[in-house]
Amino acid sequence: MSKKSSHTRDLFVSKFGVIAAAAGSAVGLGNIWKFPYITGIYGGGAFLFVYLGFIVLIGLPVMLSEFAIGRRSRSNAFGAFKKLAPGSSWKYVGMLGVAAAFMILAFYGVVAGWSIDYIVKALSNSFASKTPGELESLFINFTELPLIPVLYQLFFMVLTMAIVIVGVKDGIEKYAKFLMPLLVVIIIVLGIRAITLNGASEGLKFLFYPDFSKLTAEGVLSALGHAFFSLSLGMGTLITYGSYINDKNNLSKTAVQVTLADTVIAILAGIAIFPAVFAFGIEPGKGPGLVFITLPNVFQQMPGGYFFSILFFLLLTVAALTSSISILEVVVAYFKEELKIKRKTATIISTVLISIVGVFCSLSMGILGDYKLFDLNFFDLLDWISANMLLPLGGLFISLFVGWYLGKDLVQNELSKGSLVIKSLLNVFIFLVRFIAPAAIAIVFLNGIGLLRFG
Ligand code: TRP
């Protein structure tokens, strides 16, 4: 799916390849693990409503901006700013992205490790005839262990490293192309089983009925942070992928398709989880264990549940892998191009450093759980800082860069490659990246951390 162009940069050949790679990055633990658990914490429907608003008004324009910056500069996230804005400070936006990537991958690997352990648990039929309470203990007792979760996490990091060394584009995308649709099918099957459980309607009501009285300033900030996290925005992942996109490709259409796929999959995951949460009497605000505790209950209650559970955690791990490689790639590209280290060495060094930080994330679920800052353990702290601070900040700068620095003519020129640009839509886009996205991000952020208070 990639070919060398005459100037030796890789390019995606097929339009589907572009979408598969970008969607592979976007769809991951964010959709299936994080979206349901934070929706549960922040009260359901109203959170979903605000999240969807941010996806359309901020996520989509920032994604298009990242693609445009990447294709225009044909270089990695850091180099892109150096090339398009030589001698300026914009390159530090790239640096911010490297820091975010580092933190995200540290805890991402922990959760992916849980998913691998759950493949093993599924294989050994460990969910059978357990009560919801026992399934909860199963999760908690496991994640509190000092050694086993760390080993699975390191195993996942090695897999990620191996793929990034061998080359992201040639191998994994081929598999992602049919494994991801399969994951979607399984989530739909799970959803059907979940909504036919006794008491399921409460869960659908929780997810879709917006009760705005439950919404807090922190909830709104988390919705914004998660819009960035789930779409892989704000740290240059999609700048890098954009740099591989062919000039014949229609960037706007690609951005809409990726955004749509990512959002639909998150909602499907919600439909599979919340009806079951209520049917089994689980607390929706349970936190990071929500998916791992809830779904085994559903597997028990369905024909072929044994096979579905194996397949589900296997595909979840693959989905995590197609995302984790896109996160590591940002760090590697920086090490390689800015510090002039060979690709293989850069990949190994960054994986080792990230894994060390990741081990502390894993341990903070158990033996290091008492060390807290702002009432968050290390795992939650890295998640919070990266998703709710660094990504929105990155998104703010990216939208300002496209709206004000690059400007309308250049953007029009870039977007009109491979497609007809509709004037009115272009104007809407420019308006969004110039004013709406930066203002909304600034307000939501200041409000969320309590520096500004609305209501
Ligand atoms: N979007 C992925 C998910 O939902 C995670 C991810 C991949 C990511 N690349 C990223 C998050 C870049 C933020 C920025 O699981």
Contact 305, 299 (CB under 8 A): yes
- In short, whether 300's Cβ falls inside 6 Å of ligand 1 is no
Residue 207, CB half-sphere, CA atoms under 13 Å: how many?
A: 22
Predicted confidence at residue 287, as pLDDT, reads: 93
Q: Can you read off the two tokens belonging to residue 290?
A: 């929500």
Q: Report the alpha-carbon angle 170-33-229, nearest 5.
A: 65
Predicted confidence at residue 173, as pLDDT, reads: 65
Percent residues over pLDDT 70 in the chain: 93
Which protein residue has the closest C-alpha to ligand 1 atom 9? 232
Q: What is the pLDDT of residues 215-248, one digit of tens each?
A: 999 999 999 999 999 999 999 999 988 988 888 8
The rounded distance, in Å, linking the Cα atoms of 152 and 356 is 14
The rounded distance, in Å, linking the Cα atoms of 143 and 291 is 14
Per-residue CA distances from 373 to 357, 365, 370 (Å): 16, 14, 10
Q: Is the pLDDT of residue 63 over 70?
A: yes
Alpha helices in 339-365 (DSSP H): 343-363
- Rg for the chain (alpha carbons), in Å? 21
Kindly report the number of other CB atoms within 10 A of residue 13's CB atom. Answer: 13
- Of 100-104, 268-272, 418-422, the poorest mean pLDDT is in 418-422
Q: What is the pLDDT of residues 4-32, one digit of tens each?
A: 443 456 677 666 777 888 899 999 999 99
The rounded distance, in Å, linking the Cα atoms of 153 and 115 is 9
Q: What is the pLDDT of residues 118-175, one digit of tens each?
A: 999 999 999 998 999 999 999 999 999 999 999 999 999 999 999 888 865 665 566 6
- In short, whether 149's Cβ falls inside 6 Å of ligand 1 is no
Banded model confidence at residue 450, pLDDT cuts 50, 70, 90? confident
Contact 222, 42 (CB under 8 A): yes
Mean pLDDT, residues 97-108 taken together: 95
Mean pLDDT, residues 278-297 taken together: 94
The whole-angstrom distance between residue 326's C-alpha and the CA centroid of its chain comes to 10
Nearest to 154 by CA among 368, 354, 343, 317: 354
Interval between CA 181 and ligand 1 midpoint (Å): 18
Contact 330, 98 (CB under 8 A): yes
Contacts of 297 (CB under 8 A, 6+ apart): 127, 132, 135, 276, 280, 282
- In short, whether 326's Cβ falls inside 6 Å of ligand 1 is yes
Mean pLDDT, residues 428-445 taken together: 94
Site to probe by mutation for ligand 1, drawn from 37, 93, 229 as the one with most ligand atoms within 8 Å of Cβ, is 229
Interval between CA 15 and ligand 1 midpoint (Å): 21
Banded model confidence at residue 354, pLDDT cuts 50, 70, 90? very high
Banded model confidence at residue 338, pLDDT cuts 50, 70, 90? confident
| DSSP-derived 3-state class of residue 72 | helix
Predicted confidence at residue 7, as pLDDT, reads: 44
Predicted confidence at residue 2, as pLDDT, reads: 43
What's the mean per-residue pLDDT of the chain?
Answer: 90
The rounded distance, in Å, linking the Cα atoms of 88 and 91 is 7
Banded model confidence at residue 449, pLDDT cuts 50, 70, 90? confident
Interval between CA 322 and ligand 1 midpoint (Å): 10
